[in-house]
Structure 1
């Protein structure tokens, strides 16, 4: 009798394994790409633009995906879309599947590239974007070495002209980035001060600056001079970490990208007697007659900034 029960159990287990092997549906890459776009933007309309589909087509894709998986993936309200716990779980799998798909297709369809690509960027861009770019690029092109240099934006652009760099990612005053390359993204430049600090009330105004040639410094000096506000350079550093340290210590204020003003720093503005700094552009410059590995790195940079724009747009909508 026990043997009979064991036999039935084994037969049922074998039948279940056969069902799992043959009956489970396959997830479509296009649908997963749409799902990830919605998760990252928090908006069906924005995601539809990113995947070049109509909002109704995107809604149908998600409806079909939810029916396939037997669960609700998104919670929808009038302003935004958020992931359910099941949606959060799927997001991790979806990103891995899309990455593996891209790597697999690239290995077969793209040339087996190798060589060295020299990339230059300012510190803030290097810290914010390059880690993700390097990781993804290495997964697709493991035989290409990317040599990264960190420095002032103007110096990076000049080194591309001199063929000492293949790619430069740089900060530029608005309307100037397109003259020497292509615009990847626009950022807001603001005044940063210490929480509960009073540096912005002093006269002359103590300012933490970069060396000559920094577009943030040039914009800040021009705006302060135009407003007739007396200032002095109280702290000088070539790195944003140094600028932020001076601000957090209450020694000075500094012109910084808005996304860097967090933690022990606060954003200051016209209500504090300071001129508006406006925006600056992040640009991309590629050496002339660039070979395939250089073009591939440049495309990864573009994709990273496109994703960053979607993310920052989602954050702005939430605020």
Structure 2
């Protein structure tokens, strides 16, 4: 009896996957081409070959917009993981002797939930690179990045806002958080735990309350997520937070509790132009971290 012949499948080209991800993230062949330093026609040819290789369409195109098909959504998940894994593997062997300093800025919530995992992985691939971390509000991080004092910055911004060339790596819903079984949301005026006025979560929440005609007072002011969590858990106040940061002892307070939806926000990754190899590698670690969350929901809750 003859053994079956196994026909090896063609491997996906990492360069093509990078072009595919760039188009998915920018929504434009032209913008993607500028990001990866290729011509739009070259990028278009790459996607044509990719679709022929897979036998499916990955993008829906019209005169103004480019969007992912259902198959494209599936491929995007694989592509991000493959690119991140490829770069991580290369960095492990090629870049281990690279030295220098990478300066990172992050809001405190993501500093607690994301940085430990990302920096642990980065230390393995770039053990000779020192990392300086600044934890601050997004509005201050914008200024630090613009002045050249940061190489990488994570910043929260209102959805559909001009990101100034930054990459949206994560989107989340803002919800009202209160102690499970707590009574703070029943008080009038509503006691709030808030960051300073420049906080995106605060801005959205206040505007929602004012539109709904709900009276409120700022009962607890803090610029750190740990202080905000303490106010919530002791039932001193309720607070607007990203849904991804809630744990079992915190409940979401919705319209049934008289609290209007504050909407959503985007987390933007800003990287210095012409980044060094360590900066580019650290950016990939951040992208991989958020992709893992989309796959597993692995952020640590409050």
TM-score range, shorter chain: 0.5 to 0.7
Q: Cα deviations across residues 254-311 of structure 1 (Å, max 9, x unaligned)?
A: 1011132223321101111111112111110112332222122112111111111122
Please state if 1:219 is matched with 2:204: yes
Please state if 1:51 is matched with 2:78: yes
Q: What's 1:188 paired with? A: 173
Please state if 1:152 is matched with 2:179: no
Q: What's 1:119 paired with? A: 104
Cα gap change, 1:163 to 1:102, in 2 (>3 Å):
closer
Paired residues in the alignment total 225
- 2-side partners of 1:107 and 1:246: how far apart? 43
Aligned-pair CA distance for 1:247: 1.4
Cα gap change, 1:275 to 1:115, in 2 (>3 Å):
same
**SS in structure 2 of the partner of residue 232 of structure 1:** strand
| Contact 1:103 1:139 survives alignment (8 Å) | no
**SS in structure 2 of the partner of residue 203 of structure 1:** coil
Aligned-pair CA distance for 1:116: 0.1
Aligned-pair CA distance for 1:201: 1.5
Select which of 209, 215, 224 maps to 2:194: 209
Q: Cα deviations across residues 55-104 of structure 1 (Å, max 9, x unaligned)?
A: xxxxxxxxxxxxxxxxxxxxxxxxxxxxxxxxxxxxxxxxxxx98x9776
| Contact 1:177 1:183 survives alignment (8 Å) | no
- Normalized per residue, the structure richer in helix is 1
**SS in structure 2 of the partner of residue 213 of structure 1:** coil
When normalised by structure 1's length, the TM-score is 0.65
Please state if 1:248 is matched with 2:233: yes
- 2-side partners of 1:289 and 1:209: how far apart? 37
Aligned-pair CA distance for 1:137: 0.9
| Contact 2:96 2:127 survives alignment (8 Å) | no
- 2-side partners of 1:187 and 1:146: how far apart? 27
When normalised by structure 2's length, the TM-score is 0.68
Please state if 1:179 is matched with 2:164: yes
- 1-side partners of 2:287 and 2:246: how far apart? 25
Cα gap change, 1:105 to 1:174, in 2 (>3 Å):
closer
- 1-side partners of 2:237 and 2:89: how far apart? 51
Unpaired runs of 5+ residues, structure 2, are: 1-10, 12-71
Q: What's 2:62 paired with? A: none
Q: What's 1:21 paired with? A: none
Please state if 1:228 is matched with 2:213: yes
Q: Cα deviations across residues 150-175 of structure 1 (Å, max 9, x unaligned)?
A: 11011112101101111101111111
**SS in structure 1 of the partner of residue 297 of structure 2:** helix
Please state if 1:169 is matched with 2:154: yes
If you compute each CA radius of gyration, which structure gives the higher value, 1 or 2? 1
Q: Cα deviations across residues 24-75 of structure 1 (Å, max 9, x unaligned)?
A: xxxxxx9xxxxxxxxxxxxxx98765335xxxxxxxxxxxxxxxxxxxxxxx
Unpaired runs of 5+ residues, structure 1, are: 1-29, 31-44, 53-97, 314-319
Please state if 1:140 is matched with 2:125: yes
Kindly report the root-mean-square deviation, in angstroms, between the aligned alpha carbons of the 2 structures: 2.6
- 2-side partners of 1:293 and 1:104: how far apart? 14
Aligned-pair CA distance for 1:125: 0.7
